[in-house]
Amino acid sequence: MKSELRSTSDLVRGNIMANVASEARYPSADNVALKFVVGSAIGLLVVVLSGLIMSLQLTSLGNGIGGLFVNIRGIHLQAIIFAWLSMGLMGAIYYAVPRICGRDLLSKALGNVHFALMWVAVGLVAVTLLLGYSEGREYLEPILPIDFAVVVIWVIFVTNILGTIIASRAKTVPYSAIFITVSIIYLGVNYLLGMVPLRGLQDAVAVWTFAHNQVNGWFMVGLMGLMYFALPRLTGLEDNPPHNTKLTAIHFWTLMVFIPPSAMHHLLYQSVPVSEFWKELGQWTSVGMLIPTGIWTYVVYSYIKNSRKGFTLPLKFFAVTTVFYLLNCLQGAVQSIRAINDITHGSQWTIGHAHLALVGFISTGLFGLLYFVLPRVVKGAPALDKVGGMHLAFSAAGLAIMWVTLTIAGLVQGSMLSSGQGFWAAREAIQPYLIVRIIGGVTYAVAAALFFYNVLAAVRRPAETTPEAIGRQALVQR
């Protein structure tokens, strides 16, 4: 140690900066991950903007707002699937996988190509959908040429990630990497099945299997894998997990067995002649999904409860996401039962459930993950907590308003349709709820803007050398 270091804080700074320099072992992974995090924040803005336009159009407040509802709806769906959630998860995966197997990314160039092609695909999807070129199949609106481009992008992604894991020759690969890899395989296999335009019943089965597995297989399993990676590091419990590790194996295999067949619960009252066997199977495997739900809730709870690093911002997001996850799975299991599905199917209840899943559960969890990844891939240690706390409050409140009003609106609408009062009467009856929903949407848009601000501020801030910043840096072990 040289004699320029005069104070304790200088000493601390010198030590920690030396540590940081030696610990930044994965420059390619960090570089690619940061690009995806910023990209996902931009994608989220597209999602909330298109959502706000549509929520206005559904009420009398939106008279004269341009753009066809059906076109914007496709953009809203595709933006949330690809531009926001997929890009965010991919960023976190690019960060996590090299650290799990102790080897930098297979190829930084492939990662950059992946990122560029993602934006090309997102741009193409947005333009074609706005022009009205759509397959008209829910969640699979992009036309066939774009589908092929998506498959190419997926091949690049899976080559990079699987290649990194296999090239690392790690003797033991933990379950977090298994969850992540399986989720990537779900993404691709599903897309290959879903992109083929079939006819009639088979098309309905393919579309809803795709939509279901995209959310459960790619978003949910991927998010869980990444949280299995992040939770021990956020709580300082890397070496002694607070739960029985056999639970993770049970968690994994129940998911693998229950996720695909439960897709059929989307077709219970669709007037589609799916055979009784598949409808029953879809119903009961949906209820069976409560087993992994319980395990996952317990795992997250036990990590947070035993945390040695305090209740930090990402952990707060993880706590909230688990609450929404539990609500979501209970609601999902309930509405998979046919007697209830008869009322709720095709009403605003379903819209509420979709938002609870993708906004309440997946997006909140992803925010937590990105707040875990972000300080570790930018220079210095940005203070995310102040804005981050507000972001958490606004996003949870916005989602809660949206979900509760849509669920009540769905019950009103569904029972009016079932009792034969007609489409227009039901539409008029739910207008007040749809207006309250706009308030929820605006609240959530504020949260999205706060997130965007936080990401930009973290990226643009120069490396700080104040003792506080160094203290934060010490918490953020790379």
Partner 1 sequence: MGKFLVSVGVGSLILVGWLVSSLTTYNVGPINAHAGPWFADTELAKNGWSQFQSAGCAQCHSILGQQGQSTGPDLTQVGKRWKADQIKKLVRDPQSIFVGTRMPSYPQLSEAQLDQIASYLETLK
Cβ nearer to partner 1, comparing 134 with 364: 134
Q: Which residues lie closer than 8 Å to 397 by C-beta, 6 or more apart?
A: 440, 443
- Any idea what DSSP says for residue 464? P
The reply to whether 466 sits near partner 1 by the rule CB under 8 A is no
Q: Is 264 in the site for partner 1 (CB under 8 A)?
A: yes
* Residues ≥6 apart with Cβ < 8 Å to 328: 353, 356, 357, 360, 361
Q: Is residue 223 at the binding interface for partner 1, with CB under 8 A as the rule?
A: no
Query: Which residues within the stretch 164-203 sit at the binding site for partner 1 (CB under 8 A)?
Result: 165-166, 169-173, 177-178, 181-182, 185-186, 189-190, 193, 199-203
Sequence-distant (≥ 6) Cβ neighbours of residue 394 within 8 angstroms: 443, 444, 446, 447, 450
Applying the rule CB under 8 A, the residues between 98 and 117 that interact with partner 1 are none
Using CB under 8 A as the binding rule, whether residue 378 contacts partner 1 is answered as no
1-9, 56-64, 104-112, 204-212 -> range binding partner 1 (CB under 8 A):
204-212
Minimum gap (Å) between residue 427 Cβ and partner 1: 10
- For partner 1, which is the closer residue by CB, 89 or 126? 89
Whether the CB-CB separation of 320 and 296 falls below 8 Å is answered with no
* Residue 354 engages partner 1 in binding (rule: CB under 8 A): no
CB of residue 251 vs partner 1: minimum separation in angstroms?
Answer: 12
Any contact of residue 138 with partner 1 (CB under 8 A)?
Answer: no
Stretch binding partner 1 (CB under 8 A), from 261-269, 361-369, 376-384, 461-469:
261-269
Q: Is 6 helix (H, G, I), strand (E, B) or coil?
A: coil
Is residue 157 within the footprint of partner 1 (CB under 8 A)? Answer: no
Stretch that binds partner 1, among 74-82, 112-120, 249-257, 376-384 (CB under 8 A): 249-257
**CA neighbor of 150 nearest in space, from 83, 202, 100:** 83
Asked whether position 373 contacts partner 1 by CB under 8 A, the answer is no
Of 169 and 460, the one with the shorter C-beta distance to partner 1 is: 169
Residue 216 binds partner 1 (CB under 8 A):
no
Smallest separation (angstroms) from partner 1 to the CB of 33 = 22
Q: Quick one: 213 or 473, whose CB is closer to partner 1? A: 213
Rounded to a whole number of angstroms, the minimum distance from the CB of residue 136 to partner 1 is 8
422 binds partner 1 (CB under 8 A): yes
Q: Output DSSP code: residue 463.
A: P
Residue 340 binds partner 1 (CB under 8 A):
no
Instruction: Tell me how far apart the alpha carbons of residues 454 and 387 are, in angstroms, rounded to a whole number.
Output: 7
> Which of these, 412, 410, 399, lies nearest to 442 by C-alpha position?
399
User: Which residue intervals of 169-220 are DSSP H helices?
Assistant: 175-195, 200-213
Select from 124, 143, 257, 412 the one that contacts partner 1 (CB under 8 A): 257
225 binds partner 1 (CB under 8 A): no
Q: Could you tell me which of 447, 475, 320 has the C-alpha nearest to residue 382?
A: 475
Report whether 71 contacts 130 (CB < 8 A). yes
Among 69, 133, 278, 298, binds partner 1 (CB under 8 A): 278
473 CA to centre of own chain: 27
Q: Which of 14, 260, 288, 467 lies at the binding interface for partner 1 (CB under 8 A)? A: 260
Using left for φ > 0, alpha for ψ between -120 and 50, and beta otherwise, residue 340 falls in alpha
End-to-end CA, the chain: 23
What is the three-class DSSP state of 3?
coil
CB of 279 to partner 1, least distance (A): 9
We find the least distance from the C-beta atom of residue 215 to partner 1, in angstroms, to be: 14
Task: Closer to partner 1 by CB, 10 or 203: give it.
Answer: 203
Contact flag: residue 256 with partner 1 (CB under 8 A) = yes
Residues in the chain: 478
Backbone φ/ψ region at 58: left (φ over 0), alpha (ψ -120 to 50), beta: alpha
**What would the two tokens of residue 66 be?**
């341009």
Is the distance from CB of 195 to CB of 212 less than 8 angstroms? Answer: no
Q: Give the range of 5-13, 27-35, 45-53, 262-270 binding partner 1 by CB under 8 A.
A: 262-270
When the beta carbons of 203 and 464 are compared against partner 1, the nearer one is 203
d(CA 478, CA 457): 20
Tokens of 348: 């605003």
Q: Does 246 bind partner 1 (CB under 8 A)?
A: no
Residue 45 or 198: the one with the smaller Cβ distance to partner 1 is 198
Separation in Å, CA 406 to CA 321, 373, 433: 19, 33, 7
Q: Which is nearer to partner 1, 20 or 140 (CB)?
A: 140
Does residue 343 contact residue 411 with C-beta atoms inside 8 Å? yes
* Chain contacts with partner 1 (rule: CB under 8 A): 136, 165-166, 169-173, 177-178, 181-182, 185-186, 189-190, 193, 199-206, 209, 213, 217, 252, 256-257, 259-261, 263-264, 270-275, 277-278, 346, 417, 420, 422-423
